[in-house]
Amino acid sequence: MERPHGNETWKEWIGAHGPRLLLCARQWTRSLADAEDVLQEAFVRFWRHQRDLPGDPQALLLVSIRRAALDLARRNDRRLAREQRADGGLEETVTLFARLPGEGDERRQEIEAALGRLPDEQREVLVLKIWQELRFEQIGELLGISPNTAASRYRYALTALRTQLEPLCHG
């Protein structure tokens, strides 16, 4: 993710990177509304105060989004949180991905449903790897786990997805 350059507007920047950041935020929150809130909080802080700081803006924003999501979760009612987690994390039927051009929508829906059934810790690694294009070292640093653990979770996630999607492919 490139650093915002001098004459780039926040609209151009968020237009290019916002969808992937929102997808990540969604992995760490219990609803799309919460994900939007934490993305807004992190992005406004980044754009106003942090965009000229040294370092990787992508890492800075992801850390900020994750921290805001954790703070929000702590503020929420614990009982409600337990109930929603028991539903499997991504409890909403919100479409995460755009429809693929020229193709039916069935496959995308199947993938989204399979993603929703993954354990949280596997899904977050998968999302960071596939759609944020982070290396395992970066994922490990962000999540506080070793790169090897990140790689294992990624492999487990892909294997689980394949298991869930294969019967649909061949059936």
Partner 1 sequence: MDESLQELENELKRLRPQSLPDPLLQRLERELGAVQAPRRYTTATSLRSWKWAGWSLAGAAMVALGVFAVSLSRTGTATRAAHGAPVVAATSHPSPVANRYEPVRASSVLYELKDDGATYLPDQTPGRQVRYRYVDTYTWKNPATKASLKWSVPRDEVRLVQASLD
Give CA angle at 123 (30, 134), nearest 5°: 115
76 phi and psi angles, rounded to 5 deg: -70, 160
DSSP string, 114-148: HHHHS-HHHHHHHHHHHTS---HHHHHHHHTS-HH
Please, are residues 21 and 35 in contact by the beta-carbon 8 Å criterion?
no
The span of 66-74, 84-92, 137-145, 160-168 binding partner 1 (CB under 8 A) equals: 160-168
DSSP string, 30-45: SSHHHHHHHHHHHHHH
156 binds partner 1 (CB under 8 A): no
Please, are residues 38 and 28 in contact by the beta-carbon 8 Å criterion?
yes
48 binds partner 1 (CB under 8 A): yes
Given the complex with partner 1, which of 97 and 116 has the nearer CB atom? Answer: 97
Given the complex with partner 1, which of 67 and 145 has the nearer CB atom? Answer: 67
The span of 11-19, 78-86, 116-124, 137-145 binding partner 1 (CB under 8 A) equals: 11-19
Query: Which one of 20, 30, 66, 153 is in contact with partner 1 (CB under 8 A)?
Result: 20
Q: How far is the CB of 140 from partner 1 (least distance, A)?
A: 18
Q: How far is the CB of 111 from partner 1 (least distance, A)?
A: 7
92 phi and psi angles, rounded to 5 deg: -85, 155
Provide the binding-site residues for partner 1, judged by CB under 8 A.
4, 6-7, 10-11, 14-15, 18-20, 22-23, 36, 39-40, 43-45, 47-54, 95-98, 100, 108, 111, 126, 130-131, 155, 158-159, 161-162, 165
